[in-house]
Amino acid sequence: MHQEYTVIEGDFVNAGKASSSVKKTLKQLNVNPQVVKRVVVALYEAEVNAIAHAYGGKVLVDIDPDKIRMVVADKGPGIPDIAWAMQEGHSTARPEVRDMGFGAGMGLPNMQKNVDRLNVTSEVGVGTTVEMEVNFS
Amino acid sequence: MFYHALQIDEPRCIGCSRCMKICPTEAIRIHGGKASIQEHRCVDCGRCYEVCPAQAIRIKDDDFEDIRQYPHSVALLPAVFMGQFPDDISVSRVYATLRELGFAHVMEVESAAMIYKDAKERYARQHPDVRPLISSFCPAIVRLIQIKYPSLTENVLPIKVPLDLSAMYAVQELVSRGIPRHEIGLFYITPCAAKVAAVKAPVGEEKSLIDGVINMNLLYNRVYKHIKDQGKNHQYPPLSRQRLSADAILSTLTNGERRICTAKRSYAIDGIENVMDFLEKLENDEVEGVEFLELRACDQSCAGALLSVDNRFLCGERMYARARKAAERERNGEMARDREMEQYKDYLIDHAVLDEVQPRSMMVLDPDISKALEKMEKIEQMKVRLPQIDCGVCGAPTCEAFATDVVCRQASLHQCVFYRLHLEQAGKMTLHEGRTNMYAVWGDDRIGGEIEV
């Protein structure tokens, strides 16, 4: 099963639309509630990242009987040093984004904590792609 | 199957579908011109009861005369019951009237409100990792979380509510006076449907202590009539009764639990739609640092309960007035501490913990995830062919709910009036067949004939 969502730069009002929709789907599939929670938390972080740091992007979701795969691809400034950004508290967020309560540098570490596989690829000046997988059991 | 207290009175139901459209859990469908409730989705919130223009939705209670089977019948009253009466009828007079009507004992369940508070706080101390803790007070909310927010069931405080604590107290107290248990009949005067369900099919325990439930509005009528019949000069027998503290009186209103809880950050939310909005966010981990949640299905909490006789704001203000009086007595040291219940406090707190609340999701399409995925693909494909205007003519509240019903074989695609038009245009359905399908949902008396304008 495949789903697609679009996220728009700076549209914090609609942050969480994709993760809420995925949440509903997983509940209908009888996925363990604690697994659903991990998926939703990770996807929400990725959504907010694309809204806050990039110029928007796409969320692609594929659900199989045993796992969910989520790809959040944005067009944006990219991450120069991914290993650095993966550490808690490290953030490249602009001051105005931090003022809104985002950009504490917990995004990528939080995703890492909640998913079974995380792969971040990025090109400076082009964009960032976050791929995440969560097993259902 | 799942118990629910709200029932459709079919002969009265006019099939207007107002209930179907307002139900927050999409639990209502129309068949043969009558509403029907899907019991696994119903949380007994009673939004349907409020909007029904035909009084065709009932709350199944017990017969008042049942109280006479017990030499020691106990009326367990919610504090909002007193909020129903006009100012010139005192709390004492209502108590005395209940005795004259046949109850051997009368007690307000909120007399256990502070014990409930202590039991919640003890649980919170013992489980520092579970946050936020969600109050167990409103049974419609507990059920809502079970069916729609299964990941949050572990956050629901598995603590007996004041009703159950006061029932335990009543039994302990009367038995200690040498009264055999079988002579004691506990009757809860219920302000809503959800409390009936909580008594008849409790969550987190096998069986409730309560022997019967009586709808609050019906008892109001009996009490009010009796008082009027007796006239102003009637001498009521003297009685000693417990006085509720201001905190206890206010505990059933919005903010009642929150204002006395020790949590650093907490919210009090009333109205089931507001609660659902919030739980949606909470499930996504979008709300940080919250320690306690007081969630109530009714607007203005129990003052706005389904069986409230008077306007929710008038009832609420009367309760505030009573609480102000109680607070004044407390300040003046006139409030005799309730030593009776104090004596059982440790016992009650020790017995207040329930089993953990379990999820029972209503949303699952199929227990087998491969089959569920197949069904979901079908629903998605079907949805884009449906008009997506949620007209409800198919007898389901939304196009999505309808598509789900069709895929789960609980409805026929032919119930959609737009799809029928497509079939008729394509020569695949006759007018007669179309009409038969319409009758199946709405009954055969809705087509009124020619209208002249």
How much is the average pLDDT of B209-219?
A: 96
Indicate the pLDDT class of residue B401, thresholds 50, 70 and 90.
Answer: very high
At residue B337, the pLDDT reads: 58
The verdict on B283 touching A (C-beta cutoff 8 Å) is yes
How much is the average pLDDT of B198-206?
A: 90
At residue B235, the pLDDT reads: 83
Report strand pairing: B133-134 vs B184-190. Answer: unpaired
CATH number of the domain where residue A65 is located:
3.30.565.10
At residue B453, the pLDDT reads: 87
Helix (H) / strand (E) element for A40: namely: helix A33-53
Least confident piece of the model among A86-100, B168-182, B437-451: A86-100
Nearest Cβ partner for B364 among A20, A28, A41: A28
Residues of A in contact with B377 (CB under 8 A): 1
CB-CB contact of B242 with B108 (8 Å): yes
Distance, CA of B263 to CA of B265 (rounded, Å): 6
Cβ <8 Å between B369 and A31: yes
Least confident piece of the model among B7-11, B223-227, B232-236, B301-305: B232-236
At residue A84, the pLDDT reads: 83
Chain B, nearest residue to A102 by Cα = B286
Q: Can you read off the two tokens belonging to residue B197?
A: 């369900």
Closest-CA distance of chain A to residue B156, Å: 15
Q: Sign of the C-alpha dihedral, residues B358, B362, B364, B367?
A: positive
Q: Strands across the sheet with B184-190, in order?
A: B105-108, B72-77, B184-190, B212-215
Q: pTM of the predicted model, to two decimals?
A: 0.91
Residues of B in contact with A63 (CB under 8 A): 373
Q: Tell me: the pLDDT tens digits for B283-307? A: 888 888 999 999 999 999 999 999 9
The ipTM of this complex is: 0.81
At residue B285, the pLDDT reads: 81
At residue A92, the pLDDT reads: 65
Give me the domain span that covers residue A69: 2-135
CB under 8 A, 24+ apart: contacts of B96-100: B96/B236, B96/B237, B96/B239, B97/B223, B97/B226, B97/B227, B97/B230, B97/B236, B98/B223, B99/B237, B99/B239, B100/B226, B100/B236, B100/B237
CB-CB contact of B153 with B356 (8 Å): yes
The proportion of chain B whose per-residue pLDDT surpasses 70, expressed as a percent, equals 98
Question: Which site among B147, B152, B280, B284 would you substitute to test the A interface, given the most A Cβ atoms closer than 10 Å to its Cβ?
Answer: B284
Decide: helix, strand or coil at residue B183.
helix
Helix axes B369-385, A17-28, angle to 10 degrees: 120
Compute the residue count for chain B: 453
Tell the burial category of B336 from Cβ atoms under 10 Å away from its Cβ (0-12, 13-18, 19+): exposed
Flag whether pLDDT at B167 surpasses 80.
Answer: yes
Flag whether pLDDT at A131 surpasses 90.
Answer: yes
Distance, CA of B303 to CA of A86 (rounded, Å): 51
The DSSP-derived string for B319-331 is HHHHHHHHHHHHH
How much is the average pLDDT of B376-380?
A: 94
The DSSP-derived string for B233-252 is T--PPP-------HHHHHTT
Q: Tell me: the pLDDT tens digits for B16-68? A: 999 999 999 999 999 999 999 999 999 999 999 999 999 999 999 999 999 99
Other CB atoms within 10 A of residue B186 CB = 27
How many folded domains does chain A comprise? 1
